[in-house]
Amino acid sequence: FFFWLNSRFFAKFEIFFVPRMALSASGWDCLRAGDTCSSDDTCSPRLRTLRQCVAGDGSVKLGPGARNQCENAMTALLSTPLHGCQCKRGMKKEKNCLSIYWSLHQSVLHGLSLVESYPYEPEERGSDYVRLASIAAGEWASLNRCLDAAKACNIDETCQKIRTEYVSACIQPSARSGPCNRPRCNKALRKFFDRVPPDYTHELLFCPCTDTACAERRRQTIVPSCSYEDKDKPNCLAQLRICKADYVCRSRWAQFQYDCQPSDLSASGCKQENYGACLLAYTGLIGSTITPNYLDNSTSNVGPWCSCAASGNHREQCNDFLTFFHDNICLIIYGLSFGPMTFDLEGSNSRSPMFAFQSSLKLQVRFISNFICSFLGTMSTKFLHSFEKFRFLNF
């Protein structure tokens, strides 16, 4: 237990943590800021230069004075609306917006160190969480909250429609890809978690369970056979490199690092102490190359489908990456407390965070003693497809 409060434990995560950049006074989104810069005779060439600096070997094409050109371009652009511009998660042209943002916020620019941040605007969805907390307060109204969450989603037109879309996309066999089309499945999942209000998505994904059937339903929420699992587990650092090469995945990962950052200096053990933002950041990773999911039927045991095999000299760095999921106290407190804890209108815990943590650990022990999974035998592909869709949408 006291391992969680060990400062050396939290220090291991420093290589992943990123500071949050303050909002600019302009409050511009990066698409608008980019358009403004492109139409300005002074700003436009500097932005083109900076993009060359961060585009692989682009700086080589700039010649011997590339470093100075890159530094000068970056310094000049810091005084424009591009500095501090942000994007909205799930927005139209999200990749275009993020490409503009990361042009100015690369962590390393061919030897030039820059401050890294994450590009998304703060989510203003506090009332949703208060409503969820009020439902969860006191005695649990149902023995199967995950089933209740599925029923609630089916009643809401938007939730039911987009959920049906991703379930269909994730269980539909593909002639090219085999059992399913993973890219199509992941795209549909991202749409669901980006567009459906968290009072539905979080109830589905973080519903508290005390029996095997409930926990297995929760694990199956993202249709892991298509979106998550694979024949072999790839190396985690290789997956992270792929993630960082993609603007959307890189941004979601940076947001998760910030909003779910452990700290031994805070009362709860989580630096930001914002449970809503942490859960949103976690769901933002679903549908990416580092999609997390429940590894078994234990509430706190989550992580991406990867391993640290063949990590060589980077084994410790790889283990730290996995530990950020497996042993992240923010996810343990916020994920497990989603059921029995209560919150006031300001979003702060009305019970002691440590009390919630201890209660959560006791609940895990009960989970582990009861969770013995059993699976149905082999079924034909056609019947399995129909059964899977029916089960996901109605149970």
Q: Model pTM?
A: 0.74
Give the model's pLDDT for residue 191.
Answer: 96
pLDDT at residue 330 is higher than 70: yes
The residue type of 78 is: L
Rg over alpha carbons for the chain, rounded to the nearest Å, is 22
Give the model's pLDDT for residue 339.
Answer: 47
Q: What DSSP state is assigned to residue 118?
A: -
Give the model's pLDDT for residue 177.
Answer: 65
The residue type of 332 is: I
Give the model's pLDDT for residue 133.
Answer: 45
CA separation, residue 300 to residues 274, 320, 331 (Å):
18, 17, 7
pLDDT at residue 316 is higher than 80: yes
Q: How far, rounded to the nearest angstrom, does the alpha carbon of residue 232 sit from its chain's CA centroid?
A: 22
- How many Cβ atoms sit within 10 Å of the Cβ of residue 312? 9
- 87-134 pLDDT per residue, tens: 999 899 999 999 999 888 763 344 443 435 688 988 755 434 444 444
Q: Which long-range contacts (CB under 8 A, 24 or more apart) does 320-327 make?
A: 320/12, 320/13, 320/15, 320/16, 321/16, 321/236, 321/237, 321/240, 322/236, 323/12, 323/13, 324/13, 324/16, 324/257, 324/260, 325/292, 326/301, 326/302, 327/9
Q: Do residues 243 and 249 make contact, with C-beta atoms less than 8 angstroms apart?
A: yes
Which pLDDT band holds residue 390 (cuts at 50, 70, 90)? low
Domains of the chain: 21-113 (1.10.220), 130-394 (1.10.220.110)
- 23-66 pLDDT per residue, tens: 444 468 999 999 999 999 999 999 988 888 877 655 556 666 77
User: Nearest to residue 193, comparing CAs of 91, 87, 283?
Assistant: 283
